[in-house]
Structure 1
Amino acid sequence: MESSTQLVILAGLVIGLIYGAVGLLSGFCLMSSMRGWLAQGDGRLVRTYALAMAVAIAASQLLAGSGMADLGKSIYLQQSFSVPVLFLGGLLFGYGMVLSNGCGSRALVLLGRGNLRSFVVVIVLAIAAQMTLKGLIAPARIALVQASQITVNANSLPSLLAAFGAAEATSRALATSAIVVALILFAFAHPSFRRSPGQVAAGVIVGLLVTGGWFVTGFLGADEFNPVPVTSLTFVAPIADSLQYAMLSTGLTPNFGVATVAGVFAGSLITALATRRFQLEGYSSPRHMLRSAGGAALMGVGGVMAFGCSIGQGLTGLSTLALGSFVAVAGILLGTAAGLRGSLRVQPLAVA
């Protein structure tokens, strides 16, 4: 491998290690955040997520504005995209996240802590995602996208503002400032969150890790002879790629996503052992396992359709201010809310 590729892989591993440690210590997870806010009346974790989003957007847009990373080369800022498929994928992912009691990144973190339920979630999610990317479900997904995709001149909030005559730098600054200020006000308006320095730190660190991913792949990996895909933290496709790499490593090469997945697991495992949080856990019943696996399958299918998960779209995608990411995140939030409240609410099961 070329030195730039090796550097990207090493940096991805480090980013994953940090995310795994922070995720275990803080409980960082969109599903847990939404559950605490909607079902339990505890809004601290959702503020952590909002702060991470604000930091990711502000720092990533600063990086893009300085020319250090071309976010336009990412999968999120495409001129053509399917609003129905993005939204439907988000719905499936959000509801599956509730069924499985966490997203793909959270499953990796919990697996490092000894949660064997998460092992099932990771494997099933990987298989379902690979089937949707390249397998049996792929033709149906591609047909849906081709039948419903639209081509737009403005594919992000800054470009939408620029279409009304504003300069590119001004449009970027206005869009970024408005969203970041709103998210920070929402986060720090909560007294319990302000009194939780650990949660504040977690939000800042995760947001910076997203920006770090853009810097690593967009700047350090910008080799004109051997470029790497411009990407950052996301987990559905990388978990699928990691399973494939584990089985066929002699015919494949690792990438940033695979390194990140390995890092998250390792970071959580090291932290769990160091803090004596490691404990083997399993399913309470066959029904529990079936529901968890079903949720993982929905996350695998939905995450591919939505071009990302609660991290891949909820933080990384939104950090580009892509219009398609707002559509996907709306679907994820609605699917999660439906699983937590209302007639489609997923009833809690006792965990052994």
Structure 2
Amino acid sequence: MFELETYSLVNILGLALGIIFGFIAQKNQFCFSGSIKDFLQIKSTKRAASVIMAMIVAVISTQIISNYFEIDLTQSAYFKKDINYFAIIVGGALFGAGMMIADGCSSRSIVKFAQGDSNALITLIFIAIFAYTTTKGVLFEIINPFINNPTLIEISKTIDNFQLNIYVVLAVLFVLLYTFTKKVKRVFSLYDGVIVGLLIGAAWFVTGYIGSESMEKEIQVQAISFVYPSAKTLELFTYYQVNEFSFGVCLVIGALVGTFVSTLFNKKYSFGCTANKTINKVKYNMIGGAMMGVGGIMAIGCTVGQGLSGLSTLVFSSFLAIISIFVSGYFTGKYLLKKDKLAMCFIFEWEDENKKKSKQIDFQI
């Protein structure tokens, strides 16, 4: 009987997880930056509730799986020894601003491109290029001295990169979920958040448990993230003779495939849009993508990488990163809204609220 090497099996499972992520993210337009945009524009909390639900399920599933299968989460990048909180905060701020300027974070750009928004490809390319140059290219000489600054690292050591109490974290998240939903019946519509959260736990299982059996190659303990994997995907297709597929690259490819398949059944969102015709969309995609590429590396992850995967480990630096991303994204969004440059394509509102509202929002496609 044909048997796959563990490394290959992990990659195939990564592809499968990416396909599921892309499919569900396209179907319900799951998006962290979009949840901020919805609240700023129409005070809708529907997508924000989905994000919080994903966080809750990610934390619970990850902790259950890691404890039951004895997966050492401290081997992941989120538990970096010489952590620099200043780099985490600055990187998070860059990423948060960039995702609002480009109208979507890294995972959202993957979904938007695969569902028909060609401008999102520009964002993806710039995320990949700038993430790559920050880790191995010309920006490495500029960014690395700041990330690994001995003085900043020493100051950061005054607060250990500890794991927060799971009950405290869940209590805060459930309060937020209640605040965003208000009605119990609305919780049952947040199945996209449940599935995305379960995918985080599944990713830890694939790399941390199945991957630990790999004898041919070492597999890093990781979950779902899209900034550095986007850079590795670009590297693979650029230098294919000296590179190979990895779990992260397979996630990116899978998300593209899953999104495209979803558009065959869910054509409503199969195109892109801008807030108004005066916006130089390409310029915003380039700037936002570049900021996310650099910021994602500095913050050790994106809205999914830190906001879900990192947060699921309960490590302090991940909470610092996602808070930084949110604060920066929120105020950048407010500024763009004031300047009438915050994209508005579709209305994401609770079904019971949709029935009440008769006022139509003017948006252009």
TM-score (norm 2): 0.86
Q: Deviation at 1:38?
A: 3.4
Q: How does 1:58-207 map to 2 (within 5 A)?
A: 58-147=60-149, 148-150=152-154, 151=157, 154-158=160-164, 175-191=165-181, 194-196=184-186, 199-207=189-197
Q: How does 1:313-324 map to 2 (within 5 A)?
A: 313-324=306-317
Partners of 1:197 and 1:272 in 2: how far apart?
25
Which residue identity does 1:208 align to in structure 2?
A: L
Given that 2:279 and 2:341 are in contact with CA atoms closer than 8 Å, whether structure 1 keeps it comes out as: no
Partners of 2:339 and 2:95 in 1: how far apart?
14
What are the Cα deviations for residues 64-116 of structure 1, in whole angstroms up to 9, with x where unaligned? 22343210100001232111111000000000000010101011111111110
Structure 1 pair 291–193 and aligned structure 2 pair: CA distance change class (3 A): farther
Structure 1 pair 54–278 and aligned structure 2 pair: CA distance change class (3 A): closer
Structure 1 pair 84–278 and aligned structure 2 pair: CA distance change class (3 A): closer
Given that 1:39 and 1:340 are in contact with CA atoms closer than 8 Å, whether structure 2 keeps it comes out as: no
Displaced runs of 4+ in structure 1, greater than 3 A?
150-154, 188-199, 276-286, 342-347, 349-352
Q: Secondary structure at the match of 1:187?
A: helix
From 190, 198, 202, the counterpart of 1:208: 198
What are the Cα deviations for residues 247-271 of structure 1, in whole angstroms up to 9, with x where unaligned? 2222111101000000100000011
Structure 1 pair 346–69 and aligned structure 2 pair: CA distance change class (3 A): farther
Which residue identity does 2:127 align to in structure 1?
A: L
Given that 1:13 and 1:262 are in contact with CA atoms closer than 8 Å, whether structure 2 keeps it comes out as: yes
Corresponding position of 1:3: 5
Corresponding position of 1:218: 208
RMSD over aligned Cα atoms: 2.3
Partners of 2:47 and 2:222 in 1: how far apart?
26
Structure 1: unaligned runs, 5 residues or longer? 159-174
Partners of 2:188 and 2:90 in 1: how far apart?
35
Say if 2:300 is the partner of 1:298.
no
Partners of 2:211 and 2:338 in 1: how far apart?
44
Which residue identity does 1:323 align to in structure 2?
A: F
Partners of 1:77 and 1:229 in 2: how far apart?
13
Partners of 2:174 and 2:28 in 1: how far apart?
19
Q: Secondary structure at the match of 2:241?
A: helix
Partners of 1:103 and 1:37 in 2: how far apart?
17
Partners of 1:259 and 1:248 in 2: how far apart?
16
Q: Deviation at 1:37?
A: 2.2
Corresponding position of 1:166: none
Partners of 1:79 and 1:320 in 2: how far apart?
15
Structure 1 pair 308–199 and aligned structure 2 pair: CA distance change class (3 A): farther
Q: How does 1:33-48 map to 2 (within 5 A)?
A: 33-48=35-50
Structure 1 pair 50–71 and aligned structure 2 pair: CA distance change class (3 A): same
Q: Secondary structure at the match of 1:257?
A: helix
Aligned residues: 336
Say if 2:216 is the partner of 1:253.
no
Structure 1 pair 35–75 and aligned structure 2 pair: CA distance change class (3 A): same
Corresponding position of 1:267: 258
Partners of 1:38 and 1:279 in 2: how far apart?
24
State percent identity of aligned pairs: 28
Partners of 1:100 and 1:115 in 2: how far apart?
12
Partners of 1:196 and 1:25 in 2: how far apart?
18
Structure 1 pair 71–128 and aligned structure 2 pair: CA distance change class (3 A): same
